[in-house]
Each structure stands twice: as C-alpha cells, then as structure tokens.
Amino acid sequence: MAYDYDKSIRPGKLPHIWCPGCGHGIVMKGLIRAMDTCGLDRKNTAIVSGIGCASRLPGYLDACTLHTAHGRAAAFATGVKMAKPEMTVICCGGDGDGTAIGGNHFIHACRRNIDMTYVIMNNFIYGMTGGQFSPCTPTGAKASTTPYGNPDPVFDISKLAIGAGATFVARTTAAHPREIDKLITMGIKHKGMAIIEVLDDCPTTYGRRNKFRSVVDMMKHLKANAVPAVAASKLTAEQLQGKFLTGILFQEERPEYCAQYAEVIKKAQA
C-alpha cells in the first residue's frame, strides 16, 4: 500500500512551487515519514524556515508553520523553543539561507545545543533568485554570478555544524530517500541541536550550467559520490577525493539549552 502522505499535507496547498526534478520534494516526504515515525503531534510541532525554495516547505505541511525572513529560521525557532520547550521544533531551509545570510544564527543555535532539528537542503546554489553562487557552490562551478567559474572556497555545512557545537550531525542526499527519514528521525529523537544536511539537486539553475544533462545525471552523481562514514576509514585519501561522507558524522551528549535555562529559573526562584 502506498504511504499516506496526504494526511500531513495541508488541503489545497499542492502543487508545490518546486521545479520538476528538484529534490526538495523527496526531502519533504522524508520529513513527513520521520515525523510519523516519531509520532509527532502536529499541533505541538513548529516547522520554521527562512527564505528560498527549500524554505517554502513548511507551508505545505499541516503543523504550526513559520516562514520567516531570509536566514532567520534558527533565530525565530530559538524564540519558539525557549518560550515553549514542550514543542518539537524543526527548521528547514537551503544552503545559502542557512550558511550565508543566516550563518550567524546557524552557528549559535549549534553552540547553544538547543533542542531542535535543522534539515538543511544543500543544492549548492541560490535557486529562487535564479542561480547565484552560494557558500556551498563548488569552486570553479558556474552560477549566474560566476560566469567565469566560482572563485570562492566552499563551506562544508556538516563540519561547520560540528565545529560550532551541534551534538548530532548527519549527512545524506536526495538520492538516498530512506536514509533521509532515518536520519531526521534520529535528529528529532536526539536531545539537542541536530543538523541533517541533505545534498540536493537543482536541475534548473545549477545542473544545466554545470554539464549535468538531466536530473538523472545529478541523482547519479549524488549516489556515486556518497561514501558512508562508517566505510570511509577503509579508503585512502585518494579514493576519498571528490566524495562526501554520509550517515551520522558526529554525535555526543551535552546539556541542552532549555534544560540549562530551567536550572537558571531554579536558581532565580531559590
């Protein structure tokens, strides 16, 4: 029997705005499955996003949804979670939104280890505005604002998250739909800041400028270059060239921010 996604989708809100072949829909379905697996009561689930194609995701889902300003998802979400810690808070958005204009909010949410799950869809480009390069666009790649090739170095979002203090960091790709919901599920269950980076495809503004002939080519690329982190130790540096590690990249237990603040309240009331 087909999986029932419809009960999670707001009536009348589809079709979505995403282009044919865009991976965001795969991520959304993964998120729905993860929320179902976790048994989340949508009345007590806030899904918060910034601006961009990926940030339109919350609008389709039947929950408490907050489509904020460019880059600000983590900061709005911090307010929601602090004020009502009993709510489950999920952030979603793109690479440019989360790591460029929202980079400061992203790293500080990681540092605080506030209990939320941030699904960051990294399609290497600013899609909504027509394909300008983002901090995640590969060096040398073509974008509408890098006509001679991208001179910028690249952010590794997962490494950034680990360095900033997130306590659950995982990566997968849009070509691994089952792993998406598995990792998001683990992220939601994790008490603290969970970053789930999903490498994603933008055929319209990235693929066609960078010699990917079709969506299938892009998906094949994601699949072919994904190396499970658990297998990486057996590979040489040469073999890992151009690959990206997937699966759980980092996990630790550290005091969660709202729990820490509950201690502040106890002291203040003593």
Partner 1 sequence: MAKKVALLQGNQACAAGAMYAGCTFFAGYPITPSTEVAEELSISLPTIGGKFIQMEDEIAAMAAVIGASLTGAKSITATSGPGVSLKQELIGYACIAEVPCVIINVMRGGPSTGMPTGPGQSDVMQAMWGTHGDHAAIALVPSSVQEIFTETVRAFNLAEKYRMPVQVLFDEIVGHMRERIVFPEPGELEIINRAAPTDPPETYKPYDATKGQVPPLASFGSGYKFHVTGLNKAADGFPTTKAEYVDAEERRQVNKVNDHAAAIESNEEYLTEDAEVLVWAYGSTARSARYAVNELRKEGIKAGLFRPITLWPFPAKRTAELAKQCKAIVVSEMNLGQMIHEVERAAKGNCTVVGEFRVDGEPINPGQIAAKVKEVM
Q: Which residues bind partner 1 (CB under 8 A)?
A: 10, 13, 42-44, 46, 48, 58-59, 62-69, 72, 75-84, 86-87, 104-105, 107-108, 261, 264-265, 267-269
Q: Residue 39 pairs with which residues in a beta bridge?
A: none
Using the minimum distance from each CB to partner 1, give the nearer residue, 66 or 136. 66
d(CA 42, CA 62): 7
Task: Provide the b/e sequence for 46-72 (b: ≥16 CB within 10 Å).
Answer: bbbbbbbbbbbbbebbbbbbbbbebbb
Four-residue CA torsion sign, 204, 205, 206, 209: positive
d(CA 65, CA 28): 14
Cβ 16 to partner 1 shortest distance, Å: 12
Cβ 110 to partner 1 shortest distance, Å: 11
Cβ 177 to partner 1 shortest distance, Å: 26
Q: What is the DSSP letter of 194?
A: E
Using the minimum distance from each CB to partner 1, give the nearer residue, 68 or 172. 68
Using the minimum distance from each CB to partner 1, give the nearer residue, 78 or 146. 78
Cβ 46 to partner 1 shortest distance, Å: 5
Cβ 201 to partner 1 shortest distance, Å: 25
Using the minimum distance from each CB to partner 1, give the nearer residue, 5 or 261. 261
List the beta strands (DSSP E) in the chain.
Answer: 45-49, 64-67, 88-94, 116-122, 168-173, 193-199, 226-228, 244-251
Write the CB contacts of 62 (distance below 8 Å, at least 6 apart in sequence): 7, 8, 9, 10, 42
Among all chains, which residue has been given the structure tokens 């237990």? 253
Output the six-digit token pair for 39: 């048994």
Using the minimum distance from each CB to partner 1, give the nearer residue, 21 or 165. 165
Using the minimum distance from each CB to partner 1, give the nearer residue, 108 or 159. 108
Cβ 205 to partner 1 shortest distance, Å: 21
Cβ 28 to partner 1 shortest distance, Å: 15
* Cβ proximity of 68 and 79 under 8 Å: no
Look at residue 49 and give its three-state secondary structure: strand
Write the CB contacts of 167 (distance below 8 Å, at least 6 apart in sequence): 113, 190, 192, 193, 194, 250, 251, 252, 253, 254
Using the minimum distance from each CB to partner 1, give the nearer residue, 84 or 223. 84
Side chain identity, residue 87:
M
